[in-house]
Amino acid sequence: MRFCQHTVKWYTMHMTKRIVTVIVVLLVLGAAVGGWFVWTGGKSGTPRAFATITSPKGVTLRIASPAPGEVVTSPLVVTGEVPGPWYFEASFPIALVAADGTVLNKVPAQAEGDWMTTEYVPFEATISFDAPEGDSGMLVFEKDNASGLPEHDDSARLPIRFR
């Protein structure tokens, strides 16, 4: 009987250690996944498909959403990448303009990374608007020109459509 009690005690202690080890491993993995989710903002890291538009000064912008000519509704989420020099204090303006030139809304696009670089930096902006009478318009991406000097102005346009 003593042998059985010793075996049961040893088995119980051994299984308890395994269960604790499994729980610790699961907690560490959960913390790692949670940390990755917070660090990346929940984005998968899969390559995006970009439309490219070019400014009059030859700067190429990569726009992930919306696609050129896409029908958009409010609120419109605009995402993509622009070169770091387009930002000032981690933002640059995006205007939504109707075909008749009416500015429906203008918002800052926020950098989603280190903007103090010459490399491409991802951005996101959400634009709320009332749909205009016409069915076409433009998104105007403006270089944030902190100096105000006209020689530093630049912009690029992406055609869109309204419902």
60 and 117 inside one domain: yes
Cβ neighbors of 6 (< 8 A, separation 6 or more) are none
Q: What's the chain's length in residues?
A: 163
CATH number of the CATH domain containing 70:
2.60.40.10
Which token pair is 144? 């944030």
Q: Decide if pLDDT at 29 tops 90.
A: no
pLDDT, average across residues 86-92: 95
> What's the whole-model pTM score?
0.70
Q: Assess contact for 120 and 59: CB atoms under 8 A.
A: no
123 and 149 inside one domain: yes
Identify the domain containing residue 152 by its residue range: 51-162
- If pLDDT is split at 50, 70 and 90, which confidence band does 18 have? confident
Write the Ramachandran bin of 99: left for phi over 0, alpha for psi from -120 to 50, otherwise beta: alpha
Cα–chain center distance at 72: 18
Q: Assess contact for 63 and 48: CB atoms under 8 A.
A: no
pLDDT, average across residues 54-76: 95
- If pLDDT is split at 50, 70 and 90, which confidence band does 127 have? very high
- If pLDDT is split at 50, 70 and 90, which confidence band does 45 have? low
Give the number of other Cβ atoms within 10 Å of residue 148's Cβ: 7
